[in-house]
């Protein structure tokens, strides 16, 4: 039951155990109330500044007064202070405010992710990782925590784990707010991460193929020299055989390198609006597949009709195209370079 004394309404209630509870607005008011009441507790008004809250808490401690609702209320006020500092790009001050909020209420995930965001602005990736991991411990489905943790791991060149966290953030974002700005932002970072990972693997694979090709060519050259020294046939025939072997070897290595050569993405894997490979494909009642965010934006800004067939569309009738989604996933798994390609 909510018991309180409002200095603005001048209404007093009594707790069942004989204690009185007051809403106070400053330390002076707290002291004045004590002059007339020996047994009571006090609650700080919600619109009191952080500075006054601290003064009230300190004075209450001196007077032996029990103050209720202090930790969470002060923590929220500190979070607001941190948010204001962040907007002014005073990231150090924002970190201090969020740190104080965490000290008061350590089980609020938003305080940890807010502080992580400030650390990210300052490129302090170790602290970003620490705060995000703590936030995920508190709530496993935090889009922001998984997203920033993924970015922090990428900075440490832990590409596999970084991509895993970004993918988790993307899945969570799509399920909660598929057209939100974060979904697009996460996809872009995930695409860059996948492409970077592919570049490293591709460069290593290219070097290995080149090294192996040189070894094979050297072996064929030695074999050719040996054949020419032993054969009774003309050296021209031995040379022709050697040339054919080299050509066959070239074909083998060209085939091996094909998957790392960017080509045009198949049209059926691309959205007719964005001309990019599908990320979250949905199919319209007319049977045409579009990128979810793109078709929803079209329906909102242009009109509720299919941009190709011109048939009327209700957004609620759009259905995920799981077949295309699986096809895209399979294609990207084999052709990772396509994360950076248009159609």
Average confidence (pLDDT) over 58-64:
59
User: Over 80: is that where the pLDDT of 188 sits?
Assistant: yes
Give the 3-state secondary structure of residue 314. Answer: coil
pLDDT digits 0-9 by tens, 280-332: 899 999 999 999 989 999 999 999 999 999 999 999 999 999 999 999 989 98
Domain annotation covers residue 12: no
Domain annotation covers residue 271: yes
pLDDT digits 0-9 by tens, 117-143: 999 999 999 999 999 999 999 999 999
| pLDDT value of position 304 | 92
Q: Is there a single domain that holds both residue 81 and residue 169?
A: yes
Longest dimension (CA), the chain: 124
| pLDDT value of position 3 | 30
CA–CA dist 106, 73 (Å, integer): 13
User: Over 70: is that where the pLDDT of 150 sits?
Assistant: yes
pLDDT above 90: percentage of residues in the chain: 43
User: Over 90: is that where the pLDDT of 197 sits?
Assistant: no
Q: DSSP states of 65-126 as a string? A: -EEESHHHHHHHHHHHHHHHHHHTT-HHHHHHHHHHHHHH-TT-HHHHHHHHHHHHHTT-HH
- In this prediction, residue 240 has a pLDDT band, given cuts at 50, 70 and 90, of confident
Domain annotation covers residue 97: yes
Who wins on pLDDT, 23 or 189? 189
| pLDDT value of position 178 | 67
User: Given 52, 68, 84, which residue is the final one in a domain?
Assistant: 68
Give the 3-state secondary structure of residue 263. Answer: coil
The phi, psi pair for 55, rounded to 5°, reads -65, -40
Domain annotation covers residue 9: no
70 within 8 A of 96, measured Cβ to Cβ:
no
pLDDT digits 0-9 by tens, 4-14: 333 333 333 33
The domain containing residue 45 runs over which residues? 20-68
Q: Where are the beta strands (DSSP E) in the chain?
A: 20-24, 40-44, 66-68, 281-283, 289-291, 319-320
Domain annotation covers residue 3: no
Who wins on pLDDT, 48 or 123? 123
User: Over 60: is that where the pLDDT of 23 sits?
Assistant: no
Q: Is there a single domain that holds both residue 79 and residue 166?
A: yes
User: Given 178, 210, 232, which residue is the final one in a domain?
Assistant: 178
Question: CA-CA distances (angstroms) from residue 128 to 86, 192, 215?
Answer: 16, 20, 47
Closest CA to 40 of 31, 49, 48, 28: 31
Who wins on pLDDT, 47 or 88? 88
Q: Within 13 A of 34's CA, how many CA atoms are on the CB side?
A: 18
Average confidence (pLDDT) over 233-257:
84
pLDDT digits 0-9 by tens, 97-119: 999 888 878 889 999 999 999 99
């Amino acid at each position: 039951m909510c018991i309180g004394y409002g200095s603005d309404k001048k209404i007093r209630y009594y707790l069942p155990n004989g204690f009185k509870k007051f809403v106070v607005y400053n330390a002076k008011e707290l002291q004045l109330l004590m002059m007339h009441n020996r047994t009571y507790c006090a609650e700080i008004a919600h619109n009191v500044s952080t500075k006054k809250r601290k003064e009230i808490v300190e004075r209450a401690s001196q007077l032996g007064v029990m103050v209720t609702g202090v930790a969470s209320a002060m923590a929220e006020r500190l979070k607001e202070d941190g948010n204001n500092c962040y907007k002014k790009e005073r990231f150090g001050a924002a970190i201090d405010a969020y740190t104080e909020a965490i000290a008061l209420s350590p089980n609020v995930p938003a305080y940890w992710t807010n502080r992580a965001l400030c650390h990210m602005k300052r490129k302090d990736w170790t602290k970003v990782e620490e705060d995000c991991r703590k936030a995920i411990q508190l709530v496993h489905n935090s889009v922001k925590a998984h997203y920033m943790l993924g970015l922090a791991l990428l900075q440490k060149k832990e590409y596999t784990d970084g991509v895993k966290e970004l993918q988790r953030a993307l899945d969570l974002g799509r399920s909660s707010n598929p057209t939100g700005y974060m979904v697009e932002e996460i996809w872009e970072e995930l695409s860059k991460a996948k492409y970077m990972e592919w570049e490293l693997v591709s460069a290593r694979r290219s070097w290995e193929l080149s090294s192996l090709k040189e070894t094979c060519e050297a072996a064929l050259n030695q074999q050719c020299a040996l054949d020419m020294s032993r054969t009774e046939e003309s050296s021209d025939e031995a040379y022709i055989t050697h040339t054919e072997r080299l050509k066959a070897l070239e074909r083998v290595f060209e085939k091996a390198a094909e998957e790392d050569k960017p080509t045009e993405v198949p049209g059926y894997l691309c959205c007719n609006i964005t001309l990019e490979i599908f990320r979250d494909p949905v199919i319209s009642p007319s049977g045409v597949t579009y990128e979810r965010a793109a078709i929803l934006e079209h329906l909102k800004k242009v009109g509720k009709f299919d941009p190709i067939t011109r048939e009327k569309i209700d957004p609620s009738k759009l259905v995920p195209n799981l077949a295309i989604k699986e096809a895209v996933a399979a294609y990207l798994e084999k052709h990772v370079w396509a994360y950076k390609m248009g159609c």
